[in-house]
Structure 1
Amino acid sequence: MSTLNIREATPSDVAEILRFITELAVYEREPDAVLADESHIHNTLFCEAPKAFGLICEQPGSDGSEPVAIGFAIYFFNYSTWLGKHGLYLEDLYVTPEARGLGAGKSLLKTLAKIALDNDCGRYEWNVLRWNTPAIEFYEACGAKPLSEWVGYRMDRDAMEAFANSPE
């Protein structure tokens, strides 16, 4: 197994991050759902006060050349009123198909767990699609448990605008 390196994403990773996001959308059967472009990613992850953060997983180049990015994670901090602590929320985790099985996903998850602990987070959460059995099995093997009593809800931009502007 090759040596993997997990590092904070930098502005020079924007194109790679967008590529990973697009590949993840294809894998999740939503290839047309990605509206972000490189400027969106740059302006949100690398602004003066970012609210989301990225990690890049690399493996050494095959001939000793520059490391090759093989995966990424995007995360942010939320808050638990019941715990009175922040939590870490993993928005996306993706490893290229050819690099799966090398430990990249586990390395990214462990690095995020350490970030959560370093920030005194009370929990570390994410969502997974119900049909994504390989991911579910992987997460459970790492010790994660599904939240069976909670149902996720979402408003898209149109719904937010309609609701925010609706009469009292």
Structure 2
Amino acid sequence: MIRPATPDDVPVLIDLIRELAEYERAPQEAKATPAQLHEALFGPHPAAFAHMAVDDETGEPVGMAMWFLNFSTWHGVHGVYLEDLYVRPSARGQGHGKALLRELARICRDRGYTRLQWWVLNWNAPAIDFYRSLGAQPMSDWTVYRLDGEALAALAA
């Protein structure tokens, strides 16, 4: 079962985010607090959205999709950027990841959005294989750039 996250899900979302950071070999990068996540998802100006994959038998959350809207100037419409997709190892292979992506695809279709996109680490072969099985294609002609830390502060100064 896939459902939108609720404020009561914030603690488990924080746990899932930390589990994902551990899997991606960057546990020190997961710094979001419950208060920050609550504000981003449920504050007066939500900037992000989340859906939960829930075990049908136990009702326990086993995965999540965290996403936000982007915008295509060429198409003139929004799209969905999937920030994080994570399913706990014990629940993998049961269709939860596909169901989460299917829900985001439905949101795109129903709202007239033209894109669902995300990044995947180059070394994450299981995820790459999974995404390709759904028809997703890598954007190999684009390179991701990021400003953060001292470089971001220096440019802003």
TM-score by length of 1: 0.91
CA–CA separation in structure 1 for the residues paired with 2:113 and 2:53: 23
Structure 2, unaligned stretches of length 5 or more?
none
TM-superposed CA distance for 1:78, in Å, is: 0.6
TM-superposed CA distance for 1:83, in Å, is: 1.0
- 2:18 aligned with 1:22: yes
Q: Which residue of 1 aligns with 2:103?
A: 111
* AA in 2 matched with 1:6: I
After superposition, what is the alpha-carbon deviation per residue over 1:9-62, rounded to whole angstroms, capped at 9, x for unaligned?
010000000000000000000011111111111111111120110000101345
Q: Which residue of 2 aligns with 1:148?
A: 140
Q: Which residue of 2 aligns with 1:98?
A: 90
Matched position secondary structure for 2:129: helix
User: Which of the numbers 1, 5, 9 marks the counterpart of 1:9?
Assistant: 5
CA–CA separation in structure 2 for the residues paired with 1:156 and 1:7: 33
CA–CA separation in structure 2 for the residues paired with 1:122 and 1:92: 19
CA–CA separation in structure 2 for the residues paired with 1:42 and 1:158: 27
TM-superposed CA distance for 1:157, in Å, is: 4.1
Q: How does 1:41-56 map to 2 (within 5 A)?
A: 41-56=37-52
Structure 1, unaligned stretches of length 5 or more?
none
TM-score by length of 2: 0.97
* AA in 1 matched with 2:119: N
Number of residue pairs the alignment of both structures matches? 157
CA–CA separation in structure 2 for the residues paired with 1:93 and 1:151: 21
CA–CA separation in structure 1 for the residues paired with 2:70 and 2:106: 16
TM-superposed CA distance for 1:85, in Å, is: 1.2
- 2:29 aligned with 1:37: no
CA–CA separation in structure 1 for the residues paired with 2:31 and 2:70: 24
- 2:127 aligned with 1:131: no
Q: Which residue of 2 aligns with 1:78?
A: 70
Matched position secondary structure for 1:57: strand
Matched position secondary structure for 2:27: coil
CA–CA separation in structure 2 for the residues paired with 1:76 and 1:137: 24
CA–CA separation in structure 2 for the residues paired with 1:79 and 1:144: 19
Matched position secondary structure for 1:32: helix
Q: Which residue of 2 aligns with 1:158?
A: 150
Identity, % of aligned pairs? 47
